[in-house]
Structures are given as structure tokens and as C-alpha cells.
Amino acid sequence: MRFIHTSDIHLGKTYRNSQGEAERYNDFFTCLDGIVADAVKEQVDAVLIGGDLFHVGQILPKTFAKTIAALQPLKDAAIPCIAIEGNHDWIHRRDSISWMEALSQMGYIKLLRPSRTEDGGYRFDRFDEETGRGGHIEIGGVNIYGLGYIGAQAGSHVARICDAVTSERNLLLFHVGIWTFSPVEIGNMQPDESHPLAETFNYVALGHGHKPYIVATPEGNPYAYNPGAPERVNFGEQKYAKGYYLVTVTDADFSAEFKPTTPRPMVVATVNLEGAGNVEEALERFTAKVRENLPEGDARRPLLELKLVGKVAFHPFELGRERLRIAIHEISDPLHVEIKNHLSMVSHSGAGDISRKSLEEIENEVLHDLIKTGSDYQGREEELIRLSIALKNAVQKGVDGDELLAILDARRD
């Protein structure tokens, strides 16, 4: 029995209101197309998706149509695609059917989701092809159980999950991160909480963190595999290995081979303009730094995130976004650029005393003054400033409402 284990495809993700919006939107489908083509070529027995097939719960109709087109070759080749919901696919409205459920009812995926018993236990009902529902399916002698995303308390559910499984040669699809491996802030569990899964499951197919990793028991037996996102979803993922696992099962042995994918080039660079005397000099240094960071040997237009730091002798506002964009386009043709201007100005106040105030410091002071005028907020200024800035950064990146709510939820007691 052989299967592909992938996760966190994030279909529907793009940079809104960016000139590269349409091309970036297609990247994630191209990535899925490649994995599907490999599955058909390798004639695997199943494709497993560990959650976050979609970037948001409410997708555009065209995203749904393109997903069906991407999954069609699997359906034609009779390769079952088994999926769970991630935090990004979660739909909160109980009265409407989710896109994932629709895909399952239409036979494009087999969406696994457990039921709960009255006393809080788990029940994995056999998957029903007619309704497209269930929590367990057997393929080639491997018992596949699907759990999806169960939130921040995942670790405390492990015993109940294992109690619900009595079969042999078991695999669990679980959208959760393991601390020490996963840089995701929300929805992780401790390794100690996770290790007991190895007693019931031969292979835990993880999703959630976009960086690949393998978790082993304290005795050194690997049992949980996170393939990461096969495309670079967010800035910060430029150094992660990108790919999926091709897993071969022989008796009770699950052997996972990491197969690399080809994500779009992503560059994150800090440009230090310390001491630049005027805007022309700063632009020259900026252009040189960008040039040396541009990827080579890849014809695809890169994604750039550039952070400007240092004390300069002119007003940082002179280096506006448009001016920087023009400078970049003289040497490169990026698909999308994000610029973080953290420049501060050398100011001469008093008798030769050089003091500086960065944009960040000014922002902090303004927020501090605003927040402390509310008596309910007094004493919590630092926490609320951090939250405000996290939300501002997220809004500037164009993240969706669901993710903004997740940032707020994570800070809530």
C-alpha cells in the first residue's frame, strides 16, 4: 500500500489588490496539480490531505470550481482523496454546508470527521459513500481515522481518541502542531501529550505547521509526520523545505520519503541604510542590497519582503512605497512586494545631543496615550499595544477576517 501525505495547500490564498493577484492565486492550484499528477503517475492507493485545503472557510465559487478541476484526475484514476478540515477550512455557521462537505458529497474527497459520544468520547463511524460522511475508512489494509482541527486543547483529547480505536495498522489524520517543531502559535500540543498516539497509530499524518518535521517517541521511533505546506504560503517560509511524503506501507512498517515541490521564489531581506545622508544615497544602497538577494536560476517572478532599518539623515517618509517600488522594478520584476519601513531619523536636538525616535517608537507612544485614556484599559497598555500592532500588521498584509479573529481569540483568556 502506498499513499501521498500532503497538507496545508491553502487554495484561494493570494495578495488582494496586488498586480500579481491572479498569478499568485494560481500558484496554489499549480502546486496541487503537481501533487495530483505525481499521485496518478505513481499509481498510489490514496492521497491524504491533513487539513487547510482551503485558505478560508468561505471560498469564492471559482475557487471551488478550480478545486474540482484539480482533483478530477484523482477521481478519474479512482485514487481516493482523504481529507480532514484544518483551522482555515473551519466553517462557523452551523446552518450551512461547508465547501469541504460539498466536495465529499460530490465524491471528490472523503472528508473524515469523528462523532462524539454522550460522555465526551470519540466515535469513528465507517465512511459512507452515499452521504459523504464518516470518521474511518480502510484502504489496502490500513485503517485511516480522521480528526481534523479540534482546537487548543488537543493534547487533553489523546486518551479519548486512542480509546475509540480497536483495529490494527492504524493511521490518524490530525490537524495539530507539536511544540518544539511547529512555529504556529495556536493549536499545538506538547510532545509528551502526543507520544501516547504512537501506541495506537503506526502513522500520524499531521497538518498545521507549514514547516516539515517528524516526531519520534522518546525511544526514537518516528510516528508523526508533518509534510508542511507544499507552496510558500506566508513570508517567513522562504527557508523551509517544501514538499510532501510518499509513504510505502509494508506490514506494520510505514516508510516516508520526502518529495520536494517547486514553490515560487520568496525573498525576505533586511536592508540596513544606517548613516545614509540623503535619499539618493539610500536608494543606491537599497537597490544594491535587493540585487544581491534576488534568486538566481528561477524564471518565475519572486515574492519580496524588504525591511528597511537604520538611522538616516533625511526624513524616512521621503523613501515612500512608490519610490521604492520604482527602484525595485528597475532591477527586477517581482510578482509582489511588501516593504516594512523601520527607518529612523538622526535628529539634532539640544547641544549636540543626538536623539532618535523611530516610527515604531512614535507609534507605540501614540497608542499608549490613546489606550491609557480608557480607565478599563489602564495597567494593560503594553498588552493592548502589542495586540493593536499585531492586528495592524495583519491588516496591512491583507489577511482575512477569520485570521484577524484568530489573533483576537488567541489573546482572549
Give the binding-site size for Mn ion (rule: CB under 5 A): 2
Binding mask 42-61 for Mn ion (x = CB under 5 A): ----------x---------
Grid coordinates given for 204: 500520524
Nearest to Mn ion of 52, 237 (CB atom): 52
89 binds Mn ion (CB under 5 A): no
- Please say whether the beta carbons of 133 and 102 come within 8 A: no
| Residue 28 to residue 14: CA distance in whole angstroms | 9
| Minimum gap (Å) between residue 146 Cβ and Mn ion | 16
Nearest to Mn ion of 150, 162 (CB atom): 150
- Please say whether the beta carbons of 128 and 93 come within 8 A: no
Nearest to Mn ion of 8, 193 (CB atom): 8
Q: Rg for the chain (alpha carbons), in Å?
A: 24
Nearest to Mn ion of 24, 133 (CB atom): 24
| Minimum gap (Å) between residue 343 Cβ and Mn ion | 33
| Residue 100 to residue 53: CA distance in whole angstroms | 9
Nearest to Mn ion of 13, 113 (CB atom): 13
Give Cα 141 distance to the centre of its chain. Answer: 32
| Residue 26 to residue 28: CA distance in whole angstroms | 6
SS3 171: strand
Give Cα 167 distance to the centre of its chain. Answer: 32
| Minimum gap (Å) between residue 5 Cβ and Mn ion | 15
Nearest to Mn ion of 99, 124 (CB atom): 99
Nearest to Mn ion of 100, 142 (CB atom): 100
Nearest to Mn ion of 52, 85 (CB atom): 52
Query: Considering all CA atoms of the chain, what is the largest pairwise distance in Å, rounded to the nearest integer?
Result: 82
Grid coordinates given for 391: 492586528
| Minimum gap (Å) between residue 339 Cβ and Mn ion | 25
Residues 97-116 that bind Mn ion (CB under 5 A): none
Main-chain phi, psi angles of 263, to 5 degrees? -70, 160
| Residue 180 to residue 215: CA distance in whole angstroms | 10
Nearest to Mn ion of 143, 226 (CB atom): 226
| Minimum gap (Å) between residue 162 Cβ and Mn ion | 25
H or E segment at 247?
strand 243-250
Query: Please, how many CA atoms are within 13 Å of residue 158, restricted to the half-sphere of its CB?
Result: 20
Nearest to Mn ion of 209, 316 (CB atom): 209
Contact window for Mn ion (CB under 5 A) among 4-12, 163-171, 192-200, 274-282: 4-12
Crossing angle (nearest 10°) for helices 61-76 and 21-42: 20
| Minimum gap (Å) between residue 57 Cβ and Mn ion | 13
**DSSP 8-state symbol, 127:** P
Grid coordinates given for 191: 510532545
Residues 139-198 that bind Mn ion (CB under 5 A): none
Taking CA atoms, 221 is separated from 193, 218, 246, 258, 286, in Å, by: 16, 8, 19, 17, 48
**DSSP 8-state symbol, 348:** E
- Please say whether the beta carbons of 113 and 101 come within 8 A: no
Give Cα 70 distance to the centre of its chain. Answer: 20
Contact window for Mn ion (CB under 5 A) among 6-14, 101-109, 117-125, 335-343: 6-14
| Minimum gap (Å) between residue 135 Cβ and Mn ion | 21
| Minimum gap (Å) between residue 326 Cβ and Mn ion | 34
| Minimum gap (Å) between residue 252 Cβ and Mn ion | 30
| Minimum gap (Å) between residue 230 Cβ and Mn ion | 11
Grid coordinates given for 65: 470550481
8 binds Mn ion (CB under 5 A): yes
Question: Which residues contribute to the site for Mn ion (CB under 5 A)?
Answer: 8, 52
